[in-house]
Chains A and B, each alone.
Chain A
Amino acid sequence: DGGITQSPKYLFRKEGQNVTLSCEQNLNHDAMYWYRQDPGQGLRLIYYSQIVNDFQKGDIAEGYSVSREKKESFPLTVTSAQKNPTAFYLCASSTDRGTDTQYFGPGTRLTVL
């Protein structure tokens, strides 16, 4: 089955630690995205990538970093510089040829202790 996987589903970290969230897709999509979701709010774009080895900042990139070394993978690192990292993180992907539809993974809930 084609789809997007995120791991782990739940993640706990101590303040001051970096943590990396995994996102993998086998849909052969070129574009991938990371969003952050907070209670009672919509999704906000962190980073996106339209092609391998290229990515751009979204609306709330501060305190986050990404890489795109393979088409299938787009890991997100939450660094210690992110002031309020506790949130639900969603990864998505889409084709970049005339369609806007984004397909989402199941999400990772990050809690900073």
Chain B
Amino acid sequence: GNSVTQMEGPVTLSEEAFLTINCTYTATGYPSLFWYVQYPGEGLQLLLKATKADDKGSNKGFEATYRKETTSFHLEKGSVQVSDSAVYFCALSDRGGGADGLTFGKGTHLIIQP
């Protein structure tokens, strides 16, 4: 079956540090890959996505590249801010149109200290 593995948190960084959150996946087909962000007490917001190999998703300074050869979709940001503190979820959709739901990783709690 499908699965997503993320690095365990919490990840604590200082402001302006470089961020990498690792994500690897297992899928039977050709999935679309997503990063969602969740702020305390709220729902999930789509951060970025990539739908095929070598695609790069980007948004708000965050980037992730779909690497089929390593089955990875690592999230990066060059200079983090305190406002980036949140829980980040990697997810995949491997069911044609996404109508059967997403498969999520367990989430990585990111803490940015001033």
Instruction: List chain A positions with a Cβ less than 8 A from chain B.
Output: 4, 6, 31, 33, 35, 40-45, 48, 50, 56, 58, 90, 92, 94, 96-107, 109
Contact = CB atoms under 8 A, between A and B. Distances in A.
A100 B89 contact: no
How many interface residues does chain B have, given as a range?
20 to 34
B82 interface: no
B98 interface: yes
Contact of A97 (B34, B91, B97): B97
B97 A96 contact: yes
Contacts, number: 71
Interface of B: 4, 32, 34, 36, 41-46, 49, 51, 89, 91, 93, 97-102, 104-107
B43 A100 contact: no
Given A97-B97, A109-B41, 15 more contacts: A31-B98, A40-B107, A42-B89, A42-B107, A58-B101, A90-B44, A94-B98, A96-B97, A98-B97, A99-B98, A100-B93, A100-B97, A100-B102, A102-B102, A107-B43
